Protein backbone atom coordinates (compact mmCIF):
# COMPACT_ATOMS: atom_id res chain seq x y z
CA UNK A 1 0.00 0.00 0.00
CA UNK A 2 0.89 3.66 -0.07
CA UNK A 3 2.77 5.17 2.86
CA UNK A 4 4.61 8.28 4.01
CA UNK A 5 7.54 8.36 6.41
CA UNK A 6 8.61 11.51 8.22
CA UNK A 7 11.48 12.24 10.53
CA UNK A 8 10.69 11.90 14.20
CA UNK A 9 10.24 15.02 16.24
CA UNK A 10 10.31 17.22 18.05
CA UNK A 11 12.70 19.40 16.13
CA UNK A 12 13.96 22.29 18.23
CA UNK A 13 15.68 25.22 16.52
CA UNK A 14 16.70 28.73 17.35
CA UNK A 15 15.13 31.61 15.47
CA UNK A 16 16.72 32.22 12.05
CA UNK A 17 18.09 28.67 11.84
CA UNK A 18 17.78 26.55 8.69
CA UNK A 19 15.03 23.94 8.74
CA UNK A 20 14.81 20.59 7.01
CA UNK A 21 12.08 18.04 7.72
CA UNK A 22 12.59 14.83 5.80
CA UNK A 23 9.74 13.04 4.07
CA UNK A 24 9.85 9.94 1.88
CA UNK A 25 6.99 8.06 0.33
CA UNK A 26 6.04 4.69 -1.11
CA UNK A 27 3.35 4.60 -3.75
CA UNK A 28 2.21 2.54 -6.72
CA UNK A 29 1.99 5.19 -9.38
CA UNK A 30 2.60 8.91 -9.35
CA UNK A 31 1.10 10.71 -6.39
CA UNK A 32 0.68 14.38 -5.68
CA UNK A 33 2.60 15.42 -2.57
CA UNK A 34 1.63 17.88 0.13
CA UNK A 35 2.82 19.51 3.31
CA UNK A 36 0.13 20.43 5.81
CA UNK A 37 0.70 22.48 8.95
CA UNK A 38 -1.21 22.46 12.21
CA UNK A 39 -0.59 25.47 14.45
CA UNK A 40 -1.37 25.11 18.17
CA UNK A 41 -5.12 24.98 18.71
CA UNK A 42 -5.92 25.25 15.01
CA UNK A 43 -6.96 22.94 12.19
CA UNK A 44 -4.90 21.50 9.37
CA UNK A 45 -3.88 23.96 6.69
CA UNK A 46 -2.30 23.24 3.34
CA UNK A 47 1.21 24.71 3.31
CA UNK A 48 2.40 23.71 -0.17
CA UNK A 49 2.05 21.03 -2.79
CA UNK A 50 3.65 19.51 -5.89
CA UNK A 51 1.83 17.40 -8.43
CA UNK A 52 4.61 15.92 -10.55
CA UNK A 53 8.28 15.06 -10.49
CA UNK A 54 10.72 17.98 -10.19
CA UNK A 55 7.93 20.40 -9.25
CA UNK A 56 8.78 22.73 -6.39
CA UNK A 57 6.05 23.82 -4.03
CA UNK A 58 6.60 27.01 -2.04
CA UNK A 59 4.70 29.18 0.43
CA UNK A 60 5.57 31.49 3.35
CA UNK A 61 9.29 30.91 2.80
CA UNK A 62 8.92 27.12 2.89
CA UNK A 63 9.91 24.98 -0.08
CA UNK A 64 9.79 21.32 -1.06
CA UNK A 65 10.82 19.62 -4.31
CA UNK A 66 9.19 16.45 -5.60
CA UNK A 67 12.08 14.02 -6.17
CA UNK A 68 10.88 10.92 -7.97
CA UNK A 69 14.32 9.27 -8.05
CA UNK A 70 14.61 9.35 -4.26
CA UNK A 71 10.83 9.27 -3.59
CA UNK A 72 11.25 12.28 -1.33
CA UNK A 73 9.58 15.61 -0.61
CA UNK A 74 11.70 17.25 2.08
CA UNK A 75 10.47 20.51 3.60
CA UNK A 76 12.98 23.37 3.94
CA UNK A 77 13.03 26.93 5.16
CA UNK A 78 16.07 29.16 5.22
CA UNK A 79 15.29 31.12 8.37
CA UNK A 80 12.63 29.95 10.80
CA UNK A 81 10.62 32.21 13.10
CA UNK A 82 8.97 31.55 16.45
CA UNK A 83 5.63 31.75 14.64
CA UNK A 84 6.59 28.67 12.57
CA UNK A 85 6.27 26.49 15.68
CA UNK A 86 3.68 23.89 14.70
CA UNK A 87 3.23 20.28 13.66
CA UNK A 88 4.04 19.55 10.02
CA UNK A 89 2.51 16.65 8.11
CA UNK A 90 3.70 15.25 4.81
CA UNK A 91 0.99 13.57 2.73
CA UNK A 92 0.36 11.97 -0.63
CA UNK A 93 -2.71 11.70 -2.83
CA UNK A 94 -3.16 9.31 -5.70
CA UNK A 95 -5.05 10.50 -8.77
CA UNK A 96 -6.92 7.22 -9.16
CA UNK A 97 -8.92 5.08 -6.79
CA UNK A 98 -9.44 6.35 -3.28
CA UNK A 99 -8.82 10.09 -3.34
CA UNK A 100 -8.00 10.35 0.34
CA UNK A 101 -4.75 11.67 1.74
CA UNK A 102 -2.20 9.32 3.25
CA UNK A 103 -0.35 11.18 5.99
CA UNK A 104 2.98 10.81 7.67
CA UNK A 105 3.09 10.75 11.45
CA UNK A 106 3.82 14.47 11.76
CA UNK A 107 6.87 16.37 12.98
CA UNK A 108 6.60 18.90 15.76
CA UNK A 109 8.78 21.99 15.25
CA UNK A 110 9.64 24.21 18.19
CA UNK A 111 11.42 27.48 17.42
CA UNK A 112 13.01 29.26 20.34
CA UNK A 113 13.69 33.02 20.38
CA UNK B 1 -16.25 32.39 1.73
CA UNK B 2 -17.18 30.03 4.53
CA UNK B 3 -14.88 27.13 5.21
CA UNK B 4 -15.62 23.63 6.43
CA UNK B 5 -17.44 23.67 9.73
CA UNK B 6 -17.84 20.89 12.27
CA UNK B 7 -19.98 20.48 15.36
CA UNK B 8 -19.69 20.05 18.21
CA UNK B 9 -16.15 21.28 18.74
CA UNK B 10 -15.85 19.13 21.85
CA UNK B 11 -17.83 16.11 22.97
CA UNK B 12 -17.43 14.15 26.18
CA UNK B 13 -19.42 10.95 26.40
CA UNK B 14 -19.63 7.89 28.57
CA UNK B 15 -18.41 4.55 27.34
CA UNK B 16 -21.21 2.66 25.62
CA UNK B 17 -23.16 5.74 24.48
CA UNK B 18 -23.73 6.66 20.83
CA UNK B 19 -22.43 9.94 19.39
CA UNK B 20 -23.07 11.91 16.21
CA UNK B 21 -20.56 14.29 14.70
CA UNK B 22 -21.55 16.76 12.02
CA UNK B 23 -19.68 18.25 9.08
CA UNK B 24 -20.77 21.10 6.81
CA UNK B 25 -18.50 21.15 3.75
CA UNK B 26 -17.68 24.12 1.61
CA UNK B 27 -20.64 24.89 -0.62
CA UNK B 28 -20.33 23.21 -4.01
CA UNK B 29 -17.65 20.76 -2.97
CA UNK B 30 -18.56 17.34 -4.28
CA UNK B 31 -16.09 15.30 -2.24
CA UNK B 32 -16.16 14.90 1.53
CA UNK B 33 -13.74 13.02 3.76
CA UNK B 34 -13.60 11.98 7.40
CA UNK B 35 -10.26 11.43 9.12
CA UNK B 36 -9.31 10.67 12.69
CA UNK B 37 -6.33 12.11 14.53
CA UNK B 38 -5.25 10.22 17.61
CA UNK B 39 -2.05 10.05 19.64
CA UNK B 40 -1.29 6.46 18.87
CA UNK B 41 -2.36 6.28 15.23
CA UNK B 42 -1.65 9.70 13.75
CA UNK B 43 -3.99 10.86 10.99
CA UNK B 44 -6.13 8.05 9.57
CA UNK B 45 -8.61 8.04 6.73
CA UNK B 46 -12.09 6.86 7.70
CA UNK B 47 -14.55 7.37 4.84
CA UNK B 48 -14.86 9.25 1.53
CA UNK B 49 -17.95 10.49 -0.30
CA UNK B 50 -17.82 11.59 -3.92
CA UNK B 51 -20.98 12.98 -5.46
CA UNK B 52 -23.69 10.34 -5.76
CA UNK B 53 -21.27 7.41 -5.85
CA UNK B 54 -21.23 4.77 -3.17
CA UNK B 55 -18.94 5.92 -0.34
CA UNK B 56 -15.51 4.40 0.20
CA UNK B 57 -15.81 2.99 3.73
CA UNK B 58 -12.54 1.10 3.69
CA UNK B 59 -11.02 3.13 6.52
CA UNK B 60 -13.76 2.62 9.09
CA UNK B 61 -12.19 0.74 12.03
CA UNK B 62 -15.24 -1.28 13.03
CA UNK B 63 -18.93 -1.73 12.30
CA UNK B 64 -19.70 0.63 15.20
CA UNK B 65 -18.72 3.46 12.86
CA UNK B 66 -21.00 4.69 10.10
CA UNK B 67 -21.47 7.87 8.12
CA UNK B 68 -23.97 9.35 5.77
CA UNK B 69 -24.14 12.37 3.55
CA UNK B 70 -27.55 13.86 2.93
CA UNK B 71 -28.37 15.76 -0.24
CA UNK B 72 -24.73 15.75 -1.28
CA UNK B 73 -23.86 18.28 1.41
CA UNK B 74 -23.91 17.81 5.18
CA UNK B 75 -22.40 14.63 6.59
CA UNK B 76 -22.88 12.88 9.92
CA UNK B 77 -20.41 10.42 11.42
CA UNK B 78 -22.02 8.13 13.97
CA UNK B 79 -20.15 6.04 16.50
CA UNK B 80 -22.25 3.48 18.33
CA UNK B 81 -21.42 2.01 21.74
CA UNK B 82 -18.36 4.23 22.11
CA UNK B 83 -15.16 2.82 23.56
CA UNK B 84 -12.25 4.63 25.19
CA UNK B 85 -10.06 3.94 22.16
CA UNK B 86 -12.49 6.04 20.08
CA UNK B 87 -11.19 9.14 21.87
CA UNK B 88 -9.59 11.29 19.16
CA UNK B 89 -10.05 14.41 17.07
CA UNK B 90 -12.35 13.72 14.13
CA UNK B 91 -11.56 15.85 11.11
CA UNK B 92 -13.71 16.52 8.09
CA UNK B 93 -12.43 17.82 4.77
CA UNK B 94 -14.01 18.69 1.45
CA UNK B 95 -12.74 19.23 -2.06
CA UNK B 96 -13.88 19.80 -5.62
CA UNK B 97 -12.65 19.19 -9.11
CA UNK B 98 -12.37 22.96 -9.60
CA UNK B 99 -9.74 23.11 -6.88
CA UNK B 100 -7.88 20.08 -8.25
CA UNK B 101 -9.29 18.10 -5.36
CA UNK B 102 -7.24 20.10 -2.85
CA UNK B 103 -8.69 19.22 0.53
CA UNK B 104 -9.84 21.89 2.96
CA UNK B 105 -10.11 20.81 6.56
CA UNK B 106 -12.52 21.77 9.28
CA UNK B 107 -11.42 22.55 12.84
CA UNK B 108 -12.31 19.07 14.07
CA UNK B 109 -14.41 17.58 16.85
CA UNK B 110 -12.50 16.45 19.92
CA UNK B 111 -14.22 13.32 21.27
CA UNK B 112 -13.43 12.09 24.75
CA UNK B 113 -14.91 8.80 25.92
CA UNK B 114 -14.83 8.39 29.70
Q: Name the residue in chain B with its Cα closest to that of A51.
A: B100
Least Cα separation, residue A42 to chain B (angstroms): 6
CB contact under 8 A, A42 and B107: yes
Q: Which of A42, A46, A103 sits opposite B102 (nearest CB)?
A: A46
Q: What distance in Å separates the CA atoms of residue A49 and residue A57, rounded to the nearest whole number?
A: 5
Quick check: A8 pLDDT over 90? no
Q: pLDDT tens, B2-11?
A: 899 999 999 9
E strands of chain B, at which residues? Answer: 5-7, 10-13, 19-24, 31-38, 42-50, 65-69, 75-79, 88-95, 104-105, 109-113
Q: Could you give the C-alpha distances from B105 to A17, A42, A64, B33, B77, in angstroms and in order?
A: 30, 10, 21, 9, 15
Q: Do residues A44 and A36 touch, judged by C-beta distance below 8 A?
A: yes
Q: A2-6, B48-52, B94-98: which has the minimum mean pLDDT?
A: B94-98
Q: How far apart are CA A104 and CA A101, in angstroms?
A: 10
Instruction: Kindly determine whether residue A101 and residue B50, on different chains, have CB atoms separated by under 8 Å.
Output: no
Any A CB within 8 A of B43 CB: yes
Task: Tell whether the model's pLDDT for residue B110 goes beyond 60.
Answer: yes
Amino acid sequence: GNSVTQMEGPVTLSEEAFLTINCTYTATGYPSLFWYVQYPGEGLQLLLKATKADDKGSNKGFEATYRKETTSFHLEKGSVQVSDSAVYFCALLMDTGRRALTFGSGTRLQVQP
Amino acid sequence: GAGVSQSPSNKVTEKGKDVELRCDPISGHTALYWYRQSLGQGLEFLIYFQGNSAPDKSGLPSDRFSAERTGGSVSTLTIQRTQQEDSAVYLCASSSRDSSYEQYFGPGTRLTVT
